[in-house]
Amino acid sequence: MTRKIIIDTDPGQDDALAILLALASPELDILGIVAVAGNTPLSLTQVNIRKICEVAGRPDVKVFAGCSRPMMRKLVTAEHVHGATGLDGYDLPEPVMPLQEGDGVDFIVETLRREEPGTVTLCALGPLTNIGTALSRAPDIASRIQEIVLMGGGYFEGGNITPSAEFNIHVDPDAAEIAFTAGMKTTVLPLDVTHQTLTTRKRVAAIRALGTRPAEVAVGWLEFFKRFDEAKYGIEGGPLHDPNVIAYLLKPELYSGRLCNIEIETSSELTLGETVVDWWGVTQRPKNATFLRHVDADGFFSLLTERLALL
Ligand code: RIB
Ligand code: CA
CA of 216 to the centre of ligand 2 (A): 21
Predicted confidence (pLDDT) at residue 164 exceeds the cutoff of 90: yes
| Secondary-structure breakdown of the chain: helix, strand, coil percentages, each rounded to the nearest 5 | 40, 20, 40
CA of 15 to the centre of ligand 2 (A): 5
Whole-structure pTM value: 0.98
Predicted confidence (pLDDT) at residue 293 exceeds the cutoff of 90: yes
Instruction: Tell me the C-alpha distance between 305 and 141, whole Å.
Output: 35
67-78 burial: b if 16+ Cβ within 10 Å, else e: bebbbebebebb
CA of 207 to the centre of ligand 1 (A): 21
Nearest Cα neighbor of 11 from 126, 94, 99 is: 126
Query: pLDDT by residue (tens digit) across 4-22?
Result: 999 999 999 999 999 999 9
209 CB-side CA count, 13 A:
9
Residues with Cβ < 8 Å from 20, sequence gap 6 or more? Answer: 52, 55, 56, 214, 218, 307, 308, 311
Instruction: Tell me the C-alpha distance between 31 and 235, whole Å.
Output: 37
Q: According to the model, what pLDDT value does residue 113 have?
A: 98
Instruction: Tell me the C-alpha distance between 67 and 75, whole Å.
Output: 11
Q: Which atom of ligand 1 is nearest to the CA of 167?
A: 1
Query: What's the mean pLDDT when you consider all of the chain?
Result: 98
Residue ranges and CATH numbers for the domains of the chain are: 3-308 (3.90.245.10)
Query: How confident is the model over 189-214, as a mean pLDDT?
Result: 98
265 CB near ligand 1 (under 6 Å) = no
289 CB near ligand 1 (under 6 Å) = no
Task: Please give the helix or strand (H or E) that residue 112 lies within, else none.
Answer: helix 104-114
Query: pLDDT by residue (tens digit) across 263-272?
Result: 999 999 999 9
Best residue for ligand 1 mutational test, from 7, 9, 14 (most atoms within 8 Å of Cβ): 14
Query: pLDDT by residue (tens digit) across 80-97?
Result: 999 999 999 999 999 999
Predicted confidence (pLDDT) at residue 183 exceeds the cutoff of 90: yes
Query: How confident is the model over 205-214, as a mean pLDDT?
Result: 98
Helix, strand, or coil (residue 15): helix
15 CB near ligand 1 (under 6 Å) = yes
Question: Active site includes 241?
Answer: yes
Best residue for ligand 1 mutational test, from 7, 8, 9, 10 (most atoms within 8 Å of Cβ): 10
Q: According to the model, what pLDDT value does residue 1 have?
A: 86
Which DSSP letter does residue 255 get?
A: E
125 CB near ligand 1 (under 6 Å) = yes
Q: Which atom of ligand 1 is nearest to the CA of 160?
A: 1
Q: Which atom of ligand 1 is nearest to the CA of 241?
A: 5
Best residue for ligand 1 mutational test, from 21, 44, 125, 193 (most atoms within 8 Å of Cβ): 125
Catalytic residue among 80, 82, 241, 294: 241
Query: How confident is the model over 38-42, as a mean pLDDT?
Result: 98
238-272 burial: b if 16+ Cβ within 10 Å, else e: bbbbbbbbbbbbbeeebbebeebbbbbbbeeeebb
Query: pLDDT by residue (tens digit) across 30-39?
Result: 999 999 999 9
241 CB near ligand 1 (under 6 Å) = yes
170 CB near ligand 1 (under 6 Å) = no
